[in-house]
């Protein structure tokens, strides 16, 4: 390599060196490696990781896109806490100490700071999408802002999967992934269930296939959400209440007996419970055919 650190310095003034302790390796193993690197005023962790990449470790694998907290690509565990690297300012970390960055632990490691998050894309497909009611006679859907506020909160989700990463149901118990959708997809289910236009009832699915009951509301997911969705209070607990009302509330049970047909169409089976291997192969888009 012909590049020197001086050539890439952004500002003429002397900037302090920091130690970045980055996990390097792949599925077969790896370890933390220390890099001494400059950090300038106002920088975020991702800036400094990029400087390591540009000056010392050109093959350092790290996912990122927008660098503005909007795409949810650069998720990692910074000093042990699941965070977006692009929204973690260096000045918020303890000065003089090494900054330790590891890939998300809940998912298999691909390389360095990049993990295989395909689990999430498989779960996503199991939840049936919106089935909207018909439009009004004038061709519009009429929805009051107050009725769409909650759905808009859930739609803030940037799919960084930090909530999935921190959730102990799957973080500590790999086997649970087969029958537990995780906080991200409870938010997705809640966004559909609470959508003013929707006509489906996904409670049977949530109870029997998506593992809603496994959540014991420790609120870790809410704490790490970078866009501030109240995952536990506003999505998971209301979903749990709806399931309880639907299955165990005697008055609701009586109401259903009296009413001729349910207001919403119940969904009892997940869509494509496994990644379907149709004519086109597995979906959505496993990256590489050579792997398990």
Partner 1 sequence: MADYDVKELDVLVIGAGGAGLRAAIESASLGARTGVVCKSLLGKAHTVMAEGGIAAAMGNVWAEDNWKIHFRDTMRGGKMLNNWRMAQLHAQEAPDRVFELEEWGAAFDRTPDGRILQRDFGGHRYARLAHVGDRTGLEMIRTLQYKAIYLDDLEVFMECTVLRLLVEGGRVTGAIAYWRETGRFVVFRAKATVLATGGIGKAFRFTSASWEYTGDGHALALWAGADMLDMEFVQFHPTGMIWPPSARGILVTEGVRGDGGVLRNSEGRRFMFDYIPPFFAAETADNEAEADRWYDDKRNRRPPELLPRDEVARAINAEVKAGRGSPHGGVFLDIASRRSAEYIERRLPSMYEQFLELADVDITKEPMEVGPTCHYMMGGVRVEPDTCAATVPGLYAAGEVAGGMHGSNRLGGNSLGDLLVFGRRAGAAAAEFARSAGGLGPLDEAQVARICADALQPFANEQGESPYELHRELQQTMQDLVGIIRTESELAEARDRLVGLAARVPGLYAEGNRQFNPGWHLAIDLRAMVAVSTCITLSALERRESRGGHTRDDYPKPDPEYFGKHNHITRLEEDGTVSVHAEPLPEMPPELAELFEEATVS
Binders in 136-155 for partner 1, by CB under 8 A: 139-145, 148, 151-152, 155
DSSP designation for 286: -
Give min distance, CB of 265 to partner 1, in A. 16
Between CA 62 and CA 17 the distance in angstroms is 21
Confirm or reject binding of residue 93 to partner 1 (CB under 8 A): no
* Binders in 251-290 for partner 1, by CB under 8 A: 271, 278-281, 283-285, 287-290
Q: Which residues does residue 158 pair with via DSSP β-bridges, in sequence order?
A: none
- Outline where the chain has alpha helix (H): 5-8, 45-55, 118-124, 145-155, 162-166, 168-171, 183-193, 203-208, 220-224, 237-248, 250-258
Q: Taking CB under 8 A as the rule, does residue 223 contact partner 1?
A: no
178 binds partner 1 (CB under 8 A): no
Q: Kindly state whether residue 13 participates in binding partner 1, applying the rule CB under 8 A.
A: no
Taking residues 94 to 133 in sequence order and writing x for each that binds partner 1 by CB under 8 A, - otherwise, the string is ----------------xxx-x--x---x--xx---xx-x-
d(C-alpha 189, C-alpha 182), whole Å: 11
Number of helical H runs and strand E runs in the chain: 11, 9
DSSP state string for 119-171:
HHHHHHTTS----BPPPPTTSPPP--HHHHHHHHHHHT-----HHHHH-HHHH
Is residue 63 involved in binding partner 1 (CB under 8 A)?
yes
Distance in Å, CB of 76 to partner 1, minimum: 14
- What track of x and - describes contact with partner 1 for positions 28 through 57 (by CB under 8 A)? ------------xxxxx--x-----xxx--
Work out whether 16 is an interface residue with partner 1 (CB under 8 A). no
Is residue 219 at the binding interface for partner 1, with CB under 8 A as the rule?
Answer: no
Number of residues that bind partner 1 (CB under 8 A): 78
Binding status of residue 2 toward partner 1 by CB under 8 A? yes
CA distance 31 to 52: 16
């Amino acid at each position: 390599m012909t590049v020197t650190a001086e050539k890439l310095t952004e500002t003429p003034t002397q900037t302090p060196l920091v130690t970045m302790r980055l996990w390097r390796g792949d599925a077969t193993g790896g370890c933390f490696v220390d890099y001494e690197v400059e950090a300038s005023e106002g920088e975020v962790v991702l800036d400094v990781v990029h400087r390591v990449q540009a000056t010392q470790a050109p093959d350092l694998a790290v996912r990122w896109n927008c660098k503005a907290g909007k795409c949810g690509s650069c998720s990692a565990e910074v000093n042990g806490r699941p965070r977006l690297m692009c929204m973690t300012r260096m000045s918020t970390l303890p000065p003089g100490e090494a900054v330790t960055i590891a890939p998300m632990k809940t998912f298999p490691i691909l390389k360095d700071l990049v993990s295989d998050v395909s689990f999430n894309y498989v779960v996503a497909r199991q939840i049936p999408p919106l089935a909207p009611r018909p439009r009004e006679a004038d061709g519009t859907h009429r929805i009051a802002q107050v009725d769409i506020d909650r759905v808009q909160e859930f739609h803030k989700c940037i799919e960084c999967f930090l909530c999935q990463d921190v959730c102990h149901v799957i973080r500590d118990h790999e086997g649970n992934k087969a029958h537990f959708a995780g906080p991200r997809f409870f938010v997705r289910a809640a966004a559909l269930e609470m959508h003013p236009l929707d006509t489906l009832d996904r409670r049977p699915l949530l109870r029997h296939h998506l593992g809603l009951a496994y959540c014991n509301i420790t609120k870790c997911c809410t704490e790490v959400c970078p866009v501030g969705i109240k995952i536990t209070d506003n999505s998971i607990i209301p979903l749990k209440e709806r399931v309880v009302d639907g299955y165990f509330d005697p008055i609701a049970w009586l109401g259903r007996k009296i009413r001729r047909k349910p207001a919403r169409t119940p969904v009892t089976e997940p869509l494509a419970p496994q990644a379907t291997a149709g004519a086109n192969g597995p979906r959505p888009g496993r990256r590489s055919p050579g792997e398990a």
